[in-house]
């Protein structure tokens, strides 16, 4: 079990979250209690200053270590157009999977030349738009995709810059971290052309031989190792080192054996901002705890240290980071609707909120959790006698947090869930017909609505009841 830690950094508090003299939480200059009263709950609140600060931090540290690098924001992490616009203004490129995110980026005003088209099984519509509009690059996922993109590019008589996404062999990584096998099978196995069975080399050769495709480099995405595996900060850094090393070795081999010049290496993302991450296995509070996140300097040392010692060229290094910019920049406000004590061999106090895990279903799929605080009296001593389960109102497994301790809490209290930026709002559902929450952006004391709250009419706006259903046959 965990208790509210008075050391704010240990709980992953962003710098923009502070406790006022009246013992009320403020985020980016806004009183969260007043915000909940004005806008209602559940409510997502984004700190603009945190988004901007996170982007500046990773860009400054990485470019100081290796000037020829660029950071693309992975829009899948949080696709609210206001967030995309803020990061675009900071100088971020955009990483988009499939045609729908590509369309969102265009709608947010991002030039196609700053968009990387990523993802497996891309539709012809996505490849056609990328070719016609002229994207920064297409990260090719398979041999089939090469053939389809070449046919489309020939129609437009245009040359499309491409990187080949490689599924590495991970031999050394798996020796050091056997738990990665689960992530590889469930989360990573569908992406890229496999190096071990020769698919990657076939795909690279096909791009080289395609008249309308230009091979610019190689791509591999390093995901955050805490989602499914046995996480530690040291193991997280090892993942980045080993994946970078294997991709560099492939780049060297291509140059030595085929004379292929690699001008771009896309190393993906997987970085996390802040000082710690809360991890716990969904359905079990036995392993709940805070774990240190590597510093930005440590991430830079892991990646660029390998590049410096291994790579025999100096390509543009690209990153597709989403979680780093947004994870700790968003909080969810929710109101307690009921407190219920359940005695037994393992007694529990169930705190029911008007938010729901169905609004961030990633919580039920991954080990990353969300620290919870009271908006009023956030640093009060926790109640000792009852381990608390914070749950939503839906009629399925809906556990927001398990086996935690909080101060005395009552119906009507407002709580804040931290680290709600990455893969929360984008994975929100309307299960049990719950409308999805409003989203506001906080900007140094101002709160601006950037995505309105859904209504029940929105939930059912796509429904049609044909008259023909009621005609007597």
CA dist., res. 108 & res. 429, Å (int)? 23
CA distances 400 to 362, 388, 428, Å, are 11, 11, 14
**Cβ 373 vs Cβ 418: under 8 Å:** yes
Please state which CATH number belongs to domain 8-46+328-459.
2.40.37.10
Tell the burial category of 312 from Cβ atoms under 10 Å away from its Cβ (0-12, 13-18, 19+). exposed
| Region(s) of the chain under CATH 2.40.37.10 | 8-46+328-459
Nearest to 240 by CA among 141, 172, 194, 142: 172
- Residue 394's region, left for phi above 0, alpha for psi from -120 to 50, else beta, is beta
Instruction: Give the per-residue pLDDT at 381.
Output: 86
Please report, for residues 19, 39, 378, the alpha-carbon distance to residue 22 in angstroms, rounded to integers and kept in the order given. Answer: 8, 21, 11
Q: To the nearest 10°, the Cα dihedral for 182, 188, 194, 196?
A: -30
- Look at residue 1 in the predicted model and tell me its pLDDT: 38
Please answer whether residues 247 and 267 qualify as being in contact, where contact means their C-beta atoms are separated by less than 8 angstroms: yes
What is the spatial distance between Cα 243 and Cα 88, in angstroms, rounded to a whole number? 28
Kindly state the tokens that stand for 454.
């859904």
**pTM listed for this prediction:** 0.92
Among residues 260, 422, 231, 392, the alpha carbon closest in space to that of 331 is found at 422
The CATH number fitting domain 48-327, selected from 3.20.20.10, 2.30.30.830, 3.40.50.720, 3.40.50.300: 3.20.20.10
Residue 141: the pLDDT is 96
Per-residue pLDDT in tens (0 to 9) along the chain, 473 residues: 333 443 444 566 888 999 988 889 999 999 999 999 999 999 999 999 999 999 999 999 999 999 999 999 999 999 999 999 999 999 999 999 988 999 999 999 999 999 999 999 999 999 999 999 999 999 999 999 999 999 999 999 999 999 999 999 888 888 888 878 877 766 667 889 999 999 999 999 999 999 999 999 999 988 787 676 688 899 889 899 999 999 999 999 999 988 898 999 999 988 988 888 888 777 776 677 888 999 999 999 999 999 999 999 899 999 999 999 999 999 999 999 999 999 888 888 999 999 999 998 877 667 788 899 999 988 888 887 778 899 999 998 898 988 888 899 999 999 999 999 999 999 999 999 999 999 999 999 999 999 999 999 999 999 998 888 776 65
- Tokens 């791509």 locate to 219
pLDDT score, position 468: 80
**pLDDT (0 to 100) of residue 415:** 97
The first and second tokens of residue 173, run together, are: 């990584």
pLDDT score at 11: 63
Convert the chain into a string of H (helix), E (strand) and C (coil): CECCCCCHHHHCCCCCEEECCCCEEEECCEEHHHHHHHHCCCEEEEEHHHHHHHHHHHHHHHHHHCCCEEEEEEHHHCCCHHHHHHHHHHCCEEEEEHHHHHHHHHHCCCCHHHEEEECCCCCHHHHHHHHHHCCCEEEECCHHHHHHHHHHHHHHCCCEEEEEEEECCCHHHHHHCCCHHHHHHHHHCCCCEECCCCHHHHHHHHHHHCCCEEEEEEECCCCCCCCCCCCCHHHHHHHHHHHHHHHHHHHHHHHHHHCCCCCEEECCCCCCCCCEEEECCCCCCCCCEEEECCCHHHHHHHHHHHHHHHCCCCCEEEEEECHHHHHHHEEEEEEEEEEEEECCCCCEEEEEECCCHHHCCHHHHCCECCCEEECECCCCCCCCCCCEEEECCCCCCCEEEEEECCCCCCCCCEEEECCCCCCCHHHCCCHHHCCCCEEEEEECCEEEEEECCCCHHHHCCCCCCCHHHHCCC
Of the candidates 313, 233, 276, 302, the one whose C-alpha atom is nearest the C-alpha of residue 62 is: 302
CB atoms under 10 Å from CB of 341, counted, come to: 10
Cα separation, 472 vs 469, whole angstroms: 9
Please choose, from the candidates 265, 190, 272, the residue with its C-alpha nearest in 3D space to the C-alpha of residue 223: 272
CATH 3.20.20.10 residue ranges of the chain are 48-327
User: Which residue's structure tokens are 């190792």?
Assistant: 225
């Amino acid at each position: 079990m965990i208790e509210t830690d008075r050391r704010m950094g240990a709980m992953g508090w962003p710098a923009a979250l502070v406790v006022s003299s009246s013992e009320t939480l403020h985020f980016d200059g806004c009183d969260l209690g007043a915000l909940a009263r004005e806008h209602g709950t559940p409510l997502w609140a984004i700190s603009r200053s945190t988004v901007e600060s996170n982007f500046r931090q990773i860009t400054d540290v990485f470019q100081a270590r290796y000037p020829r690098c660029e950071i693309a924001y992975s829009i899948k992490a949080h696709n609210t157009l206001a967030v995309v616009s803020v990061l675009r203004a900071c100088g971020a490129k955009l990483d988009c999977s499939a045609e729908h995110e590509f369309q969102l980026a265009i709608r947010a005003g991002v030039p196609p030349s700053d968009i990387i088209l990523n993802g497996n099984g891309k539709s012809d519509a996505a490849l056609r738009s990328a070719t016609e509009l002229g994207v920064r690059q297409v990260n090719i996922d398979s041999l089939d995709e090469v053939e389809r993109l070449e046919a489309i590019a020939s129609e437009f008589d245009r040359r499309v810059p491409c990187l080949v996404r490689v599924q590495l062999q991970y031999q050394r990584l798996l020796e050091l971290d056997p738990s990665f096998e689960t992530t590889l099978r469930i989360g990573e196995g569908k992406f890229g052309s496999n190096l071990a069975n020769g698919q990657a080399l076939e795909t690279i050769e096909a791009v080289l031989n395609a008249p309308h495709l230009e091979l610019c480099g190689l791509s591999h995405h390093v995901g955050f190792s805490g989602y499914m595996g046995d996480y530690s900060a040291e193991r997280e850094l090892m993942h980045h080192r080993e994946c970078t090393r294997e991709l560099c070795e492939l780049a060297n081999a291509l140059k030595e054996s085929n004379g292929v010049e690699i001008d771009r290496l896309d190393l993906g993302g997987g970085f996390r901002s802040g000082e710690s991450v809360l991890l716990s296995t969904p359905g079990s509070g036995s392993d709940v705890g805070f774990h240190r996140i590597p510093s930005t300097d440590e991430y830079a040392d892991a990646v660029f240290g390998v590049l410096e010692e291994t790579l025999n060229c100096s390509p543009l290094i690209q990153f597709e980071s989403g979680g780093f910019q947004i994870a700790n920049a968003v909080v969810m406000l929710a109101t307690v609707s009921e407190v219920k004590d359940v005695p037994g061999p393992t007694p529990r106090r169930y705190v029911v909120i008007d938010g729901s895990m169905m609004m961030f279903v990633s919580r039920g799929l991954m080990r990353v959790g969300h620290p919870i605080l009271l908006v009023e009296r956030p640093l009060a001593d926790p109640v000792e006698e009852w381990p608390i389960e914070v749950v939503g109102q839906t009629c399925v497994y809906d556990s927001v947090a398990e086996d935690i301790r909080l101060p005395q809490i009552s119906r009507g209290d407002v709580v804040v869930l931290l680290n709600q930026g990455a893969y929360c709002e984008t994975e929100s559902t309307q299960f049990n017909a719950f409308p999805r929450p409003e989203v506001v952006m906080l900007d140094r004391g101002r709160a601006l609505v950037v995505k309105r709250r859904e209504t029940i009419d929105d939930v059912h706006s796509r429904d049609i009841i044909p008259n023909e259903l009621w005609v007597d046959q």
